[in-house]
Chain A
């Protein structure tokens, strides 16, 4: 069952339209990664889903309750959710009082508060600071206080707005581990926004990409990274090769596309006649000689035109009618003895060539 169901959500601040036509459904118990460039509206969307501020239009149901119809129930619904923000936020009070805030708002008994706050501080390793001022802690510690403040309330849905953007790797790992465990053991539904693609992949069962104020694509991390729906998504998820081409034929489940005089085959059914080929650099293999046995459908010679180190990888650009950027490991590049101007053989599976319709002129 969808625990959050949003349709055509709109949000503007004055004349600035931040969100438009947002459709998103979140399943109970999943971790959904919300990825997208800065300014694409991730934080605003999370605030709207957490009922911190209202949308200007659209439909939103949370826990199966229509939030547009039932404005009177927002506080109750909000108390079943929790949110952690990007900037560590603590209040000018003791660590204990900070963590107790949500429970006090809910009118919990002081015994209950005491037990849960102590347990929560134990869990994030901050027991020794309990009586100290929260504002005296370091950024990473403050963020852990903020996280325990959310977790003591036992949220059924947890929103995390770029929770580790400002943190050191150690604090990041702690927070990621806590979130993953919470999801696994308590079945908490988690929405995490991040512009860190690897974090999105590491934690999320499903990923939604936000581009320019709307959810452009949602699916498994595999789908998003290998079969982006359009150019902007492809660029954001780090596809090195986006090459214009023209569909020539389609037979036996393979589409033949001509790009810069070179014919490539793809397993994607032709989405249009004018297409873009989407190829991830790491899917392209380079060989010194023509391989004797190669199961990749695309196999052709090319010339190395540029080599750019990106430790632990090397970005190798080859020319074969069109330019292709291949990502090979530094060791493999050394083993192949790559240098500019040499001839190599390129192999590429038809499955690794994804086709999208070409947008507009050029």
Chain B
């Protein structure tokens, strides 16, 4: 049916993307910036700790790994609420003035995906079977060489974990809404912009941003399958 707001919105959305509408570009760049940075810091923290959990035997190791796996599904609004309380004026980190800033969103998304990255690092390293570890030892590897060889061997599985973490960060709306506040030109990202524009019946903008978000998700998936094929 001609004149349908959905079809018109769709056509307008394509136009917004092709003409590189400044608002669309700005929101997309901010979204990528926040989530990529969060993924980077989360990987920086989670990968070494995940490796430590895997390589060291300690009491309660099993419980730690189970807890991490439970935290994979942690509701984003709960993390958002918790980080809001910590970063707000009444919280212990209020002095950092991170609330309603991209910095605060990065910190929050970092916290959100650390358990996922840590847990997936542990499983990636556990994927190196016993016989391979025996072989490494038998070839005369020192303790440190053993660790680096196992990490090298698990590199593609670890990278898959990092990509999954980025996918979770860029697609979630709960924490960025609560901690970022969806402030235009400051903390508005793809997901929060879609939520807002949809509620304002500004469908073409929502669809345009949705197509971009889907494109990013598709890109992550293509990268994942390339990595997993190795």
Report A's interface with B, CB cutoff 8 A: 47, 50, 52, 75, 78-79, 81-83, 85, 87, 89, 91-93, 101-102, 105-106, 146, 149-150, 153, 159
Contacts and interface: CB of A to CB of B under 8 A. Distances in A.
A83 B138 contact: yes
B67 interface: no
B156 to A, nearest CB: 7
A146 B136 CA distance: 11
A91 B153 contact: yes
Given A85-B131, A92-B153, 11 more contacts: A52-B134, A52-B137, A52-B138, A79-B140, A83-B134, A83-B135, A85-B135, A89-B135, A91-B149, A101-B149, A150-B139
Given A101-B139, A102-B139, A153-B140, A85 B134 contact: yes
Given A91-B153, A101-B149, A47 B134 contact: yes
A105 B139 contact: yes
B198 interface: no
Nearest to B143: A75
Interface string B125-147: 00000011011111111100100
A52 to B, nearest CB: 5
22 contacts: A50-B138, A52-B137, A52-B138, A78-B137, A81-B138, A82-B138, A83-B138, A85-B131, A85-B134, A85-B135, A91-B149, A92-B153, A92-B156, A101-B149, A102-B140, A105-B139, A105-B141, A105-B142, A106-B140, A150-B138, A150-B139, A159-B138
A105 B131 contact: no
Nearest to B138: A83
A75 B142 contact: yes
A132 to B, nearest CB: 14
B184 interface: no
B125 to A, nearest CB: 14
A52 B130 CA distance: 12
A92 B158 CA distance: 14
B153 A153 contact: no
Nearest to B134: A52
B230 interface: yes
Contacts of B153: 91-92
Contacts of B131: 85, 87, 89
Contacts of B142: 75, 105
A82 B134 CA distance: 11
Interface string B85-124: 0000000000000000000000000000000000000000
A40 B202 CA distance: 74
Contact of A91 (B132, B137, B138, B230): B132
A102 B136 CA distance: 8
Contacts of A47: 134
**Those 6 A-B pairs whose CB atoms lie nearest each other, nearest first:** A79-B140, A83-B138, A102-B139, A105-B140, A89-B135, A105-B141
B140 A78 contact: yes
Contacts of B145: 105
A39 B110 CA distance: 48
A149 B140 contact: no
Nearest to A97: B152
Contacts of A150: 138-139
Most chain A CB inside 10 Å of its own CB: which residue of B140, B156, B230: B140
Contact of A89 (B132, B140, B149, B230): B132
Most chain B CB inside 10 Å of its own CB: which residue of A92, A102, A150, A153: A92
B195 to A, nearest CB: 42
A255 to B, nearest CB: 48
Contacts of A85: 131, 134-135
Contacts of A146: 135
A106 to B, nearest CB: 6
A93 B135 CA distance: 15
A350 B196 CA distance: 100
Interface in B147-164: 149, 152-153, 156
Nearest to A82: B138
Contacts of A93: 152
A159 B134 CA distance: 13
A52 B131 CA distance: 11
A220 to B, nearest CB: 29
Contacts of A79: 140
B96 to A, nearest CB: 43
A149 B137 contact: no
Contacts of B136: 101
Contacts of B132: 89, 91
A259 B156 CA distance: 68
Most chain A CB inside 10 Å of its own CB: which residue of B132, B134, B152, B153: B134
Nearest to A50: B138
Nearest to B150: A91
